[in-house]
């Protein structure tokens, strides 16, 4: 169990809302394209207050960089999709290691899964420990410029590497590294101004009101005892 999963949840039962067209999106959606199951809700949906805060974040961004927009990669993710993506990523990791995923030993499976879970939450059905995206309060996103071109963040979303750590480029004396770090700081600044917290291993993952958000806030403000406002979304 991760420490943030001990945070109590008092669900506000806010609805999930489709993201408005003011935000750019990855099209087609990256996991739907792979065949992930979305029977009920779009992956581009978030809890209503989280949508409002995302709009605030984009307003802050446009005050600093006119015309730039947030580009959403993924938002609401039901637990079966979390399971699908963990299995998919496990197969990728096995292939990279030269292993056939359907012939690995229990020990190899454990090793490969440990790598997967550095970046992917466990597809847990326990309502006390929901995967962050199944709450509808977590979002993976990046920036595009006024011409609609991707802003270079020095790594791809969902990349299983140290480059994904938010501070990977901090202090590196190289012009590209400084630019990547400036872009990551800009994204984090706008999201933080709107109340979001960023994942400690992923420059692209932010949330507002889930267990990880409360845990990160309490860690930053000693003495604060925030709880989660969103558990696993249930219609």
Ligand X SMILES: C[C@@H](N)C(=O)N[C@H](C)C(=O)O
The catalytic residue positions are 202
- In the list 43, 78, 130, 131, the residue contacting ligand X (rule: CB under 6 A) is 131
By beta-carbon proximity to ligand X, the closer residue of 86 and 194 is: 86
47 phi and psi, to 5 degrees? -60, 150
Q: Which helix (H) or strand (E) holds 17?
A: strand 16-18
Interface characters, 148-167, with ligand X (x: CB under 6 A): ----------x---------
Binding region for ligand X (CB under 6 A) out of 11-19, 46-54, 105-113, 130-138: 130-138
User: Are 146 and 214 a contacting pair, CB within 8 Å?
Assistant: no
3-state SS class at 150: strand
7 binds ligand X (CB under 6 A): no
Known binding site for Zn(2+): residues? 133, 140, 205
Q: Which of 36, 93, 120, 140 binds Zn ion (CB under 5 A)?
A: 140
Closer residue to ligand X (CB): 3 or 67 = 3
Binding to ligand X in span 178-217, by CB under 6 A: 199, 202, 205
> Contact at 8 Å (CB) between 140 and 198?
no
Q: How far is CA 89 from the centre of its chain?
A: 15
CA distances for 156 relative to 28, 46, 76, 177, angstroms: 16, 22, 20, 15
| CA 6 centroid distance within chain | 20
Q: How far is the CB of 77 from ligand X (least distance, A)?
A: 7
Contact letters for Zn ion, residues 155-194 (x by CB under 5 A):
----------------------------------------
Q: What are phi and psi of 182, to 5 degrees?
A: -60, -40
For the CA atoms of 181, 186, 191, 193, what is the dihedral angle to 10 degrees? 120
Q: Which of 29, 47, 69, 133 binds ligand X (CB under 6 A)?
A: 133
Binding mask 192-231 for Zn ion (x = CB under 5 A): -------------x--------------------------
**How many whole angstroms separate alpha carbon 134 and alpha carbon 15?**
13
Binding residues for Zn ion, rule: CB under 5 A, are: 140, 205
Binding residues for ligand X, rule: CB under 6 A, are: 119-121, 131-133, 140, 158, 199, 202, 205
């Amino acid at each position: 169990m991760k420490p943030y999963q001990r945070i109590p949840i008092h669900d506000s039962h806010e609805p999930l809302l489709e993201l408005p067209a003011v935000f750019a999106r990855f099209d087609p959606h990256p996991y739907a394209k792979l065949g992930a199951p979305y029977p009920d809700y779009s992956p581009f949906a978030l809890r209503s207050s989280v949508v409002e805060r995302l709009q605030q974040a984009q307003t802050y961004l446009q005050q600093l960089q006119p015309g730039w927009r947030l580009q959403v990669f993924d938002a609401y993710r039901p637990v079966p999709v979390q399971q699908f993506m963990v299995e998919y990523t496990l197969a990728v990791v096995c292939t990279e290691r030269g292993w056939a995923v359907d012939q690995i030993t229990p020990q190899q499976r454990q090793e490969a899964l440990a790598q997967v879970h550095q970046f992917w939450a466990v597809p847990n059905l326990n309502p006390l420990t929901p995967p962050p995206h199944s709450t509808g309060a977590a979002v993976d996103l990046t920036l595009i410029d006024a011409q609609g071109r991707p802003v270079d963040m020095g790594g791809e979303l969902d990349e299983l590497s140290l480059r994904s750590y938010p501070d990977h480029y901090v202090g590196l004396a190289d012009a590209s590294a400084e630019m990547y770090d400036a872009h990551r700081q800009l994204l984090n600044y706008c999201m933080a101004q709107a109340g979001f917290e960023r994942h400690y291993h992923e420059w692209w993952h932010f949330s507002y009101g889930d267990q990880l958000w409360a845990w990160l806030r309490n860690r930053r403000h000693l003495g604060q005892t925030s709880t989660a406002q969103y558990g696993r979304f249930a219609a």
